Each structure stands twice: as C-alpha cells, then as structure tokens.
Amino acid sequence: MIRLSVCFSGAVLLALATAGPHVASAQQAVPPAPAQEPPAAPTPTSQAPVFPKPDPANFTAASPTKETVNAFLQASWGYDENRVWQIEAILKTPVDGVSKVIIYAGDKNGKEKPGAVGFYVLPDGKHIIAGDSLIAFGPNPFADYRAELEQKADGPYRGSAAKDLELVEFADFECPHCKEAQANMEKLVADYPKARIVFQNYPLVTIHPQAMEAATYGECVAKLGGSSAFFTYAAAVFEGQEGLATPDGATLTLNSAVTKAGLEPAKVAACAAAPDVAKSVQASVKLAQEVNVVQTPTLMVNGRQVPANAPYETLKQIIDFQAKLDGVSR
C-alpha cells in the first residue's frame, strides 16, 4: 500500500470511509463493463426513488453473491435509516477473480439525488476498490482491523480498560483538521464512558516538519506521567498548534505543554532524543498503514474508519450502530 502524506478534510474522508452515494460521481469513473450497463438512475422526487428493475444479464460473476454485497452495504450504510439501495449488476471483468459491482443508492425522503455507485471486488474477496480507495469488504468488513487494533493499539487511552468498544484516534499534532477534531474527541469521552478511547501518533512528516518531535515528546509524557498527563499535553499542543510552524516556536510550544502536564521539559526532551522513542512512533505509523489509514484525523470504531472531525451527530450514529452490530452495550 502506498501511504499518502495528506491531511484531508473530514468531509472528504467521511465520504470515502462510508463509501456512500456522496461520492457517486467519483466512483462512477470506472471502465465500461463487459455486459449491458444498467439504465440511468431515476430522477429525485419527494418520495423514495423507484430503481429500475435489475437485468439478469448483468449478473455474470459467480462471486460475490448478492447476499454478500447486501450484507456489506448494511454494515457500511445501515447507520443511516434513510438510505436505500439496490444491486444492479455483479459483472465479470477481463481480470480473473475481479468483479465489478454496480448499485443504485438514494434516500427514502427523495431529498438526495439517486446515483450509481460502482466498485471492484478483488480476488481475495476481502477488499474493494472504490474510486481511488481500498476498502475492506465482506459481511463483517471491519473484523480483521478490529482484531489488529485490539492487539497493537497501545497508545495512551481514556475510559474503560476493556476493549469491547474501542475508539482509536490516529492524529498528527501539526494537522489543523486534527486540532478541529479534538472538540469531538472530548464529547466522545463524556458520552461514551464505557468506551476505550486511544490516541495513536500518525505524524505526516513530509508536510509537517515538527510533527515527529511533537509525537516523540508525547510518547515520553505518556511514559513518564501516564495517560492523564499525555492528554493534558496533547490538549496544550493542539491549542498552541500555530507555534509548531518553526523549530524555535515548536520548542517553546512543546516545553509549555510539558509543563502544563506537570513534567520537567528537560527530562522529556532527553527522553524524546532516545532512539527507542522514535521507533515507538514509527510502530504507530506502521499500525496505521496496516489498518489502511492514510489520512488524519481518522477514528477507528471497532475497526471501522470514520473521520474524527465528521459532524458529531454522524459520529454518534456510526458508533452506536457499530456497537449494536458488535453486540456491545454502550
């Protein structure tokens, strides 16, 4: 996987993470199918859209089945009770094992223009390519990522020690969208006291020169002062983020944040210079790559990607829905 050193807005990542009709135009940019294409999607009305009747000639691939696609869409989109869809085609492609799926999606109220959404299912049956995004696929698409995060997400955390509902935030201290996301994170801590809410460093060093130093300082604050000290430090760094624009400003900003966390800047600086601390940050970056996180800020909800700076009510919808899917009591 190629890591993209990009700090995307929440709106863009939300569309990609949920693979919804919000990005239908991008997802339609696919080669012509080797069979009859479905008819044009219906125009919006004040009622739920009536989709064209699927043509059996457009179901030429043995895998995936309609049941698998529907289960995937329910897991991905089911948090939105107004969303409706219909599978229009599951087509063979010239590449062995690669199938093209086309669906129509809209909303029950007819407020959203119905659109076609296309994606390719890869030979492993566990991933799809939608637009330029690689997305986990299957009836329970987030299970593998959830298991990996339960095992490897070892950053400072707030809330429960149990991992039944684990919210893992991947963030970069120099990313402005990550700063915006902190208001959401504080609300989540208050609204989900039974959740385990973990912070994992993901510095995008090619565009944020001071992000690595901020991350290593954070590692040492957590090491020397525990999770409580870390989140005090993190809040102070995000609040003073403009100070990270220059090396000298970064030194002042980080030392001030360390002091607010109740630790001595000289001790934290000495700790941050140790090679094993940088390795710890790199391990967090590697974990992000392994669970297909390529942008910040990303929140993983039991393995499910959501932009951490999405509208708060949408975040809550998705968290509650995922918890229900996983049989977790809030």
Mean pLDDT, residues 241-261 taken together: 97
Residue 28 has pLDDT above 60, yes or no: no
The mean pLDDT of 15-28, rounded to a whole number, is: 34
| 1-18 pLDDT per residue, tens | 333 334 444 333 344 345
Q: What integer pLDDT is reported at residue 330 of this predicted model?
A: 67
Q: pLDDT digits over 96-146, tens only?
A: 999 999 999 998 887 778 889 999 999 999 999 998 889 999 999 999 999
Please report the beta strands in 252-308, taking only residues with DSSP state E, as ranges in sequence order. Answer: 298-301, 304-307
CA-CA distance, 288 to 283, in Å (whole number)? 9
Q: Report CA Rg, the chain.
A: 22
78 phi-psi bin (left φ>0, alpha ψ -120 to 50, beta other)? alpha
Which tokens is 299 given?
């929140």
Mean pLDDT of the chain: 88
151-172: per-residue pLDDT in tens? 999 999 999 999 999 999 999 9
What is residue 48's predicted lDDT score, i.e. its pLDDT? 79
By the 8 A CB rule, do 221 and 268 touch? yes
**Residue 43 predicted with pLDDT over 80:** no
Domains annotated for the chain, with CATH where assigned, are 19-139 (no CATH), 144-325 (3.40.30.10)
Q: Are strands 166-171 and 298-301 parallel, antiparallel or unpaired?
A: antiparallel
pLDDT at 34: 34
Confidence of residue 40 (pLDDT cuts 50, 70, 90): low
Cα(19)–Cα(105) distance, integer angstroms: 11
30 CB-contact burial (10 Å; exposed 0-12 / middle 13-18 / buried 19+): middle
Residues 6+ positions from 49 with CB-CB distance below 8 Å = 41, 42, 84, 104, 106, 110, 114
